[in-house]
Amino acid sequence: MQKELKDDRLRFFIGDVRDKDRLYRAASGADFLIHAAAMKQVPACEYNPIEAVRTNIDGTINVIDAAIDNSVKKVIGISTDKAVHPVNLYGATKMTAEKLLVQGNSYSGDKGTKFSVVRYGNVIGSRGSVIPLFLEQKKNGLITITDTKMTRFWISLEEGVKLVIECIKKMKGGETFVPKIPSMKLIDLAEAVAPECEKRIIGIRPGEKIHEVLLTEDEARHSLEFESYYVIYPEYNFWRESNPENGKMLEEGFKYSSDTNNNWININQLKELINCKKY
């Protein structure tokens, strides 16, 4: 990364989110901090639960402490739809991390550090995502599908970065930002990646859901809708500084789920996205 991003204003540290002293050094002099460190492979988290807790929960606590003690102005934590109604340890640790970050606003006191969260779905082509798996299976002429009904939210890395930058500008502390992003069917993705291959249904894996949710009915009661995203405001606001902007109230019973989304990516659009990424 240091070779690719040649800029004298940038400093690069080798470290670990679990290393509090190293985090304190890295956060020194920073105005904004984006917390994207996570152990995110579901099976790995299940097999190594203590390591998952140390990285995703204890690591988040370290980020909060380092940010406050170094008088960082704003902190954004990157979360996932797996944190909503979690069915696996990874999701449970990310749900906890969300709660810790939001309530970090209570701890900042006179330091004035503001904490918010960005919660979105699968990032196209990220490490451990399904496209590299399908491409590897394509070599053998067989693509495995867990369930033909399975749907997922999808966002590009570029869109995710743009969202985070916008949220840093907009945040007042305590918000969870949820972007309006398209859904896709896993069976459509498999067809886009390897139309010539056999598709075999193998059944849902442990710790998986058929559909993902980015905003629940309960959260909708204290959320507002904006043009390109939703904002979930904290129910427990002990710092009294998160003043909602003029967004639109959500209808009673609203839920933002990948299967009831009104924005879908079809097979041809998936092909274009995959080709653009040059896999």
Q: Backbone phi, then psi, for 250, in 5-degree steps?
A: -90, 150
DSSP state of 152: E
8 Å CB contact between 23 and 63: yes
| Number of neighbouring beta carbons within 10 Å of residue 31 | 9
**Nearest alpha-carbon partner for 177 in 169, 187, 189, 167:** 167
User: What is the DSSP code string of 100-137?
Assistant: HHHHHHHHHGGG--EEEEEEE-EETT-TT-HHHHHHHH
In sequence order, what are the beta bridge partners of 122? 154
- Is residue 171 within 8 A of residue 238, CB to CB? The reply is no
Amino acid in position 57: I
Pairwise CA distance, residues 41 & 98, whole Å = 18
| Residues annotated as part of the active site | 82
- Which two three-digit tokens encode residue 267? 């097979």
Question: How far is 227 from 247, CA to CA, in rounded Å?
Answer: 9
State both tokens at 125: 């082509």
Q: Which residue has the tokens 């990516």?
A: 265
